[in-house]
Amino acid sequence: MNDSVFVGELSWKEYEALVADGQRVLFLPVGALEQHGHHLCMDVDVLLPTAVSQRVAQRIGGLVLPALPYGYKSQQKSGGGNHFPGTTSLDGATLSHTVLDIIRELGRHGVRRLVLMNGHYENAMFLVEGIDLGLRELRYAGIDDFRVVLLSYWDFVKDPQVIAQLYPDGFLGWDIEHGGVFETSLMLALYPQRVDMSRVVDHPPATFPPYDLYPIDPSRTPAPGTLSSARGASREKGELILEVCVEGIAKAVGEAFENAP
C-alpha cells in the first residue's frame, strides 16, 4: 500500500478506501506566489503550509490535497504590496470559488473533515467566504455534516517562551513578519537551498500609519520587500517553530472535529 499522505500521489482506489467512512481529515494548503525579499524564493507561502500539513497529516493519519499555489493580492502592511514583479495574485472571487468547488467535490467523495491550512495572510477572508459558499451548497445537496477548520499555522506559535526564543530582542507582531525571522527560519529548516542568507537586507521594521492608501505608495515598503529583517533567522528556530506548529495543530484539529456539534 502506498503510504504517502499526498492525495496526488495516491491512486483513486487507495484514496477511496481511505476516505470512505468520512472520518479522515484532509488538509488543503493555501498559499501564494509572492515576493519574500531578496533572500527567499517566491513560493514560501505554498511550501510552508504544505510542509506543516504533511507533518500533521502523518501524525494524525490525514491526507494532503494539492496546494493552491496562487493567493489573494498582497497587502502593503502584511506582504509589502501587490506592485512587485513576481507577485501573482487572484481576484477574491476566484480564490473563493476555487475553495467552493473543492468543497463540493470533497463532499461528493464522502469526505466530511477538511482543514484549510493557510500560508498567506491575505487569503484568510476569501477562504472564509469559499467555505461559507461551499457549506451552503452542500446543504442544498442534502449534506449537513461537513466540517471545516480554517487556520493559519503561525497562530499556533503563542507560547511566550517560544516567542522569546525566536525574538530575544522583542516580538513586533505577526503583521510585519513577511520574509522576516519567522518565515526565513522555517525555510532554513525545511528548504535551506531556497534561502540565500547573504542577500538578507537588514533594515528596521516597517512602520505604517493606521490606514491603507490605494493605490499604495511603494516607497513605504522597505526596498527589499521584507517588512522586518531576517538577520536573526536560524535553522534551529525553524525547527522549533515547526515542532510547535505541528504539535499544536495536530492536537487542535483532533479536538476540533471530535467536539464539533
CB of 25 to its own copies, least distance (A): 13
Helix segments in 61-148, DSSP class H: 76-79, 92-109, 124-140
Positions in 61-90 near its own copies (CB under 8 A): 65-70, 72-73, 75, 84-90
Site for its own copies in 11-30 (CB under 8 A): 11-13, 15-16, 19
Candidates 39, 43, 45, 177; catalytic one: 45
- Calculate the dihedral angle through the C-alpha atoms of 61, 65, 68, 69, rounding to the nearest 10 degrees: 90
The cell for 146 is 461537513
For 118, the grid coordinates are 493557510
User: Is residue 173 a contact residue for its own copies (CB under 8 A)?
Assistant: no
Catalytic residue status for 34: yes
Q: Does 128 bind its own copies (CB under 8 A)?
A: yes
Q: Enumerate residues 194-233 that contact its own copies by CB under 8 A.
A: 194, 196, 199, 209-215, 217-219, 225
Is 236 a catalytic site residue?
A: no
Q: What is the DSSP letter of 57?
A: H
Q: Taking the complex as a whole, how short is the minimal distance between the CB of residue 132 and its own copies, in angstroms?
A: 6
Q: Which of 3, 105, 120, 243 is catalytic?
A: 120
Angstrom distance (rounded) from CA 235 to CA 62: 27
The single residue among 5, 27, 30, 43 that binds its own copies, judged by CB under 8 A, is 43
Whether residue 36 contacts residue 86, with contact meaning beta carbons closer than 8 Å, is answered with no
| Interface pick for its own copies out of 25, 55, 122, 222 (rule CB under 8 A) | 122
151 near its own copies, rule: CB under 8 A: yes
Q: Which of 176, 171, 184, 187 is nearest to 231 (CA)?
A: 184
CB of residue 221 vs its own copies: minimum separation in angstroms? 12
Q: In which residue are the cell numbers 542577500 written?
A: 199
**Rg of the chain (C-alpha set):** 19
Of the listed pieces 38-46, 160-168, 169-177, 230-238, which binds its own copies according to CB under 8 A? 38-46
3-state SS, residue 156: helix
Asked whether position 192 contacts its own copies by CB under 8 A, the answer is no
Closest CA to 118 of 105, 127, 107: 127
**Residue 36 within binding range of its own copies, rule CB under 8 A:** yes
Q: Binding to its own copies by residue 184, rule CB under 8 A?
A: no
- Residue 21 is placed in which grid cell? 467512512
Separation of alpha carbons 197 and 180, rounded Å: 11
Active-site residue numbers? 34, 36, 45, 120, 122, 178, 183
